[in-house]
Amino acid sequence: MNSWAILTMAAAAFVIGCSSAGPAASGGGVGADGLGGVDGAIAQDSAGGSDVGGGDVGGSDVGGVDVGGVDVGGVDVGGVETTSGDDASGQDQTAADTGTNPDSSTTFTPASHPALPQVLSSGGPVLTTPHVVALTYDSDVLSKDVNKLLSQLTTAAYWGQTTAEYGVGPLSVDTPRSLGATAPKSIEETALLKLIDQNFSDPTSGWGPASADTVYLVVIPAGTQFYYNSGGSKVSCCGDYDGYHDQTTLAGVTAAYAITCACPGEVDGVATVDQLASTITHELIEAATDPFVQDNPAYESPGDPDAAWSNITEGEVADMCEDNADTLVNAPGVDYLVCRSWSNKNAKASQEPCVPAPDSAPYFAAAPVLTDTISVIDYWGDTVQTQGTKIAVGASKTIEVALFSSGPTSGPWQVTAYDYNDFMQGGASHLAFSWDKDQGNNGDILHLTITVKSKDASWHGEMFLIESTLGNRTSLWMGMVGQ
């Protein structure tokens, strides 16, 4: 959402691995980033790639403003209910025609399925003429790579693929600024922002004036602990998040900034420079599409009907893809791993929503058919009405899961359900699952029985993920249970 990757609820959106927003000020939230991956980050070549390992991340955020109320639902493909215990519903759902798999040499139609979410704008501006200024320490051995990455983003198709549909223009890179000769052992956010503001306010510093169309990219080298204080505790880079973006005031100008940290050894098989590059690309994309996260947010989240997606991913465009196992890719014209980001255009057309795609294979997914309206807590701590399925604590219910793909696949794909609190947060599992079958093709309807073992008081609902896997490719779908 706002951009950081964090593993516990906080008033900000974090990224651990691929990036998100920053620590929340009063009245607003920011985002954070991490090297996402439900089963670990799989780095793949966008022309067809190979696995380079990965690590699991997650994140949630509660500060900010409610963007809900817009229904972006899809095609109802029905639902079958069975109960045990005190189910709050008790009524069967009528199944609609889910379509068939019309594989042929000339045509292919994705089977009927619930719609993928759209990341909605809250009305704030995007950066139509974005600039980026790198703020680095002279002693940082990766500063040359950072400058090379930024230069490549100005010419590679990747930047336009991930931002143009939201109204963001081509990226320009301005002269980097030095934060000092040697990086400190430790630095806190307030002190760092004060240093940056002082340099922009001092006409003799050589930094020049600050600009509202520029993202100020702070790069924290390995060996320096960056943190901010929250409730008397340190929240640290490379532990709680890999980066975030937020807004601040520099010499009287409201501007976007991003914190990005080099975190050696965080993800098996991923070099530190690639971890940093993926964090930088994540944060730049989100800072350009949602620069003023506190005062005037833009593309910050799906609407209330898709609250599960916002709650699990944090909801900004790069956040929406960071938990995919194949979230990191090699993009043509870029020498480093970059993160994938959500395309509303592709999602609406039932095509691969996370761009760039790792290869040319068809997109495939398993979408739970959620026919109830439930009351839950959203990412910002507000009570909202969202689509879900009603199941009382101690009860079970069977829902339909619609399989669809954008083209003929090489075979059936595997489908797995995960409890969010267990899988993403390392806590107790609130839900248990059983399938009638756990693989299929376009047009198949699987039946997933969900049992509620306990209530998740944090969200007033229990969240789950459905992962589809075929070879090195994966996709995710988010869902929610309520009482």
Tens of pLDDT, residues 26-48: 333 345 555 443 333 334 444 33
Q: What is the mean pLDDT of the chain?
A: 84
**If one looks up domain 363-482 in CATH, what number appears?**
2.60.40.10
Quote the pLDDT of residue 106.
63
Cis omega before residue 356 (within 30°)?
yes
Quote the pLDDT of residue 32.
57
Return the amino acid letter for 16. I
Quote the pLDDT of residue 18.
61
Regions of the chain where pLDDT drops below 50: 1-14, 19-30, 35-105
Quote the pLDDT of residue 326.
94
Helix, strand, or coil (residue 366): strand
Q: Which of 301, 262, 268 is nearest to 280 (CA)?
A: 262
Residues 6+ apart with CB under 8 A from 349: none
Quote the pLDDT of residue 299.
98
| Tokens linked to 11 | 């008033």
Quote the pLDDT of residue 15.
52
Residues 6+ apart with CB under 8 A from 150: 132, 134, 171, 173, 217, 280
Domain parsing of the chain, residue ranges: 31-77+119-342, 363-482
| Tokens linked to 92 | 């069967």
Helix, strand, or coil (residue 346): helix
DSSP per position, 247-290: EEEETTEEEEEEEEE--TTSSTT--HHHHHHHHHHHHHHHHHHS
Tens of pLDDT, residues 280-294: 999 999 999 999 999
Report d(CA 36, CA 5) in Å as an integer.
8
Quote the pLDDT of residue 8.
28
315 neighbors 309 (Cβ within 8 angstroms): yes
Residue count of the chain? 483
Which neighbouring-strand residues pair with 372?
388
17 neighbors 322 (Cβ within 8 angstroms): yes
Q: State the CB neighbour count (10 A cutoff) for residue 136.
A: 22
